[in-house]
């Protein structure tokens, strides 16, 4: 079994806010420990499937009082939005796993024979996955204890086209997921859909290809005051998809809509 390096730095950063809103950005991290990167294909070492810059995009949410949880390490180390037993979230569709062996393009992450064993995957879960989730769970409990309710907002992004391994054609600009309506109240979903329908700059879909991953489904408990929503953004709306560079001029046009969506989550 290959050695799994212990994290050299904390696996997440938490900004603790004052409002009943927690923003989780589980794929923002891009660091890969050198020992693991050495076993990867050269292109994979650049962590191309990162949800680039979503922490920067959502940074305005601190002014709303939101708590924000951001990981440091890449989904190639371990995918924080997958269940620890690696059960498929989208049966019958191509996807990537708990410790991905393939990229979003379908190309391999690892050099031949360097893929992680089940024992190594279990170690990565203990070292990198579990601390994030323990703190996510604790922060939800803290906020709910203070306010009697909390909305968990799962912020994601992905290249919006040319990924036939995952989806055909062009992904809508905004992809709202509520696990088919199970992860939040009908009232909250209706408020969010109304805001999306009222704007004319971006196309959108609700509970389409991306209905909500493990975090949205696992932590949601609307009947006890814990609601969860996932928003998958097409990266073309705030960055350059080829260079991975943040595009401030494009991002500032999107942020007011994101703010309206988050404010809707703060309404009782």
pLDDT at 18 over 80: yes
Question: What are residue 40's phi and psi, to 5 degrees?
Answer: -100, 160
pLDDT at 165 over 70: no
Give ∠ CA 222-225-227 in degrees, rounded to 5: 50
pLDDT in tens, 252-266: 999 999 999 999 999
Token pair listed for 138: 């604790």
User: Which pTM value belongs to this model?
Assistant: 0.94
Distance CA 126, CA 107 (A): 27
Question: If we measure between CA atoms, which residue out of 11, 14, 27, 20 comes closest to residue 231?
Answer: 27
Ordered by where they begin, the domains of the chain are 12-266 (3.40.630.40)
Instruction: Give kind and range of the element (H or E) at residue 258.
Output: helix 248-266
The pLDDT of 225-230, averaged and rounded, is 98
| Residues 257, 203 contacting (CB under 8 angstroms) | no
Question: If we measure between CA atoms, which residue out of 129, 119, 121, 70 comes closest to residue 100?
Answer: 121
pLDDT in tens, 174-210: 999 999 999 999 999 999 999 999 999 999 999 998 8
Average pLDDT of the residues of the chain? 93
pLDDT at 1 over 70: no
pLDDT in tens, 27-85: 999 999 999 999 999 999 999 999 999 999 999 999 999 999 999 999 999 999 999 98
What is the rounded radius of gyration, in angstroms, for the C-alpha atoms of the chain?
18
According to the model, what pLDDT value does residue 183 have? 98
């Amino acid at each position: 079994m290959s050695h799994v390096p212990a994290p050299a730095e904390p696996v997440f950063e938490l900004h603790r806010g004052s409002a009943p809103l927690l923003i989780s950005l589980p794929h923002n991290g891009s660091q890969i420990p050198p020992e693991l990167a050495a076993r990867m294909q050269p292109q994979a070492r650049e962590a191309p499937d990162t949800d680039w810059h979503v922490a920067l995009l959502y940074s305005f949410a601190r002014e709303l009082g939101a708590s924000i949880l951001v990981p440091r390490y890449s989904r190639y180390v371990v995918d924080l939005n997958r269940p620890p037993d690696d059960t498929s979230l989208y049966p019958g569709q191509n996807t990537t796993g708990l410790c991905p062996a393939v990229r979003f393009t379908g190309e391999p992450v690892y050099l031949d024979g360097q893929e992680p064993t089940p024992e190594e995957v279990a170690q990565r879960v203990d070292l990198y996955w579990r601390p994030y989730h323990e703190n996510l769970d604790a922060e939800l409990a803290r906020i709910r204890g203070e306010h009697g309710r909390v909305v968990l907002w799962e912020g994601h992004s992905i290249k919006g086209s040319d990924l036939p391994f995952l989806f055909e054609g062009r992904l809508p600009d905004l992809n709202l997921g509520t696990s088919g309506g199970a992860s939040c109240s009908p009232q909250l979903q209706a408020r969010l859909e109304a805001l999306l329908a009222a704007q004319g700059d971006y196309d959108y879909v609700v509970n389409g290809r991306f209905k909500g991953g493990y975090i949205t489904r696992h932590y949601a408990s609307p009947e006890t005051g814990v609601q969860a929503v996932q928003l998958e953004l097409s990266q073309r709306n705030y960055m350059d998809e080829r260079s991975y560079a943040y595009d401030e001029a494009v991002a500032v046009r999107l942020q007011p809509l994101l703010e309206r969506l988050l404010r809707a989550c703060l309404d009782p």
